[in-house]
């Protein structure tokens, strides 16, 4: 059995078209010539890849990780060929951009590739929730202290903010738009972070964001207070509310 698998590995490695299998393949291995899959045997893993249109990149997903592509059925060889053919653009050693993407562009989709622990925060999150008309020059991304980004995106600029403990972990939600995921703080956590960083964000921008939040029907003041209490800015929040309400 071990010899048979070894021979199968040698026969099928890097085969791109099932029709190229030798004529005696079905007799030798007991598999029909019309069987629509081939098996590539790798150390400790076995992957079955479709030989039809199964392995086609979705034009609605912008960024793929190596794991995403392998789970979809692409081998390392196929991934390398797609890069050579210009179908994929290598962003770094673990992530690729889909050159055939036709969906609505959102720069947030790139964050996972360059900062896997990154969370959209501050003004960028406020813009997402419609709390401000201000448009930052870079994407605000919260990362844990001592996190190092090995590479930086060429076409997007990140403004990194080091959040530790609960300031980083509290209120994180994952949003997926047509299978394009990104992490962002919920609206109450965003407002609290803005107030905590009011001197960096700007006093007028802070007032605008809090005013717009208070005007929303889905506001949750109890949750806002709870976050502010945990992040040691309850007193300043109450001061703002006394002025604005």
Count of the separate structural domains present in the chain? 3
Residues 134 and 230 in one domain: yes
Q: What is the pLDDT of residues 145-195, one digit of tens each?
A: 988 876 776 666 889 999 999 999 999 999 999 889 999 999 999 999 999
Q: How far is CA 45 from CA 39, 65, 98, 214, in A?
A: 11, 19, 26, 54
The verdict on residue 221 lying in a domain is yes
Residues 127 and 232 in one domain: yes
Average pLDDT in the chain: 82
* pLDDT band, very low/low/confident/very high, at 54 (cuts 50, 70, 90): low
Residues 175 and 111 in one domain: yes
Residues 143 and 215 in one domain: yes
Q: What is the rounded distance in angstroms from the CA atom of residue 185 to the CA atom of residue 168?
A: 9
Q: What is the rounded distance in angstroms from the CA atom of residue 163 to the CA atom of residue 192?
A: 13
The verdict on residue 58 lying in a domain is no
What is residue 207's DSSP assignment?
H
What are the residues whose beta carbons fall under 8 Å from the beta carbon of 85, sequence distance 6 or more? none
Identify the domain containing residue 132 by its residue range: 107-244
Neighbours of 38 (CB within 10 A): 21
Q: What is the rounded distance in angstroms from the CA atom of residue 159 to the CA atom of residue 105?
A: 19
Q: What is the pLDDT of residues 79-133, one digit of tens each?
A: 999 999 999 999 999 999 999 999 999 999 999 999 999 999 999 999 999 999 9
């Amino acid at each position: 059995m071990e010899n048979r698998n070894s021979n199968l590995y040698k026969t099928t490695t890097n085969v791109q078209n099932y029709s190229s299998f030798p004529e005696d393949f079905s007799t030798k291995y007991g598999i029909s010539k019309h069987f629509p899959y081939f098996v590539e045997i790798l150390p400790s893993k076995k992957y079955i890849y479709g030989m039809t249109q199964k392995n086609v990149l979705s034009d609605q997903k912008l960024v793929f990780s190596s794991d995403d592509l392998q789970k979809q059925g692409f081998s390392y060889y196929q991934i390398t060929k797609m890069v050579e053919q210009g179908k994929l653009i290598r962003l770094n050693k673990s992530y690729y951009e889909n050159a055939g993407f036709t969906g609505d562009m959102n720069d947030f989709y790139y964050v996972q590739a360059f900062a896997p622990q990154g969370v959209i925060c501050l003004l960028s999150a406020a813009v997402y929730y419609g709390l401000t008309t201000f448009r930052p020059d870079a994407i605000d991304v919260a990362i844990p202290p001592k996190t190092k980004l090995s590479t930086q995106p060429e076409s997007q600029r990140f403004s990194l903010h080091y959040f530790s403990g609960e300031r980083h972990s509290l209120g994180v939600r994952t949003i997926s738009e047509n299978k394009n995921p990104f992490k962002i703080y919920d609206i109450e956590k965003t407002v609290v972070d803005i107030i905590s960083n009011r001197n960096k964000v700007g006093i007028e921008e802070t007032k605008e964001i809090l005013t717009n939040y208070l005007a929303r029907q889905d506001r949750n003041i109890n949750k806002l207070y709870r976050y502010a209490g945990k992040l040691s800015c309850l007193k300043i929040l109450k001061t703002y509310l006394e002025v604005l309400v």
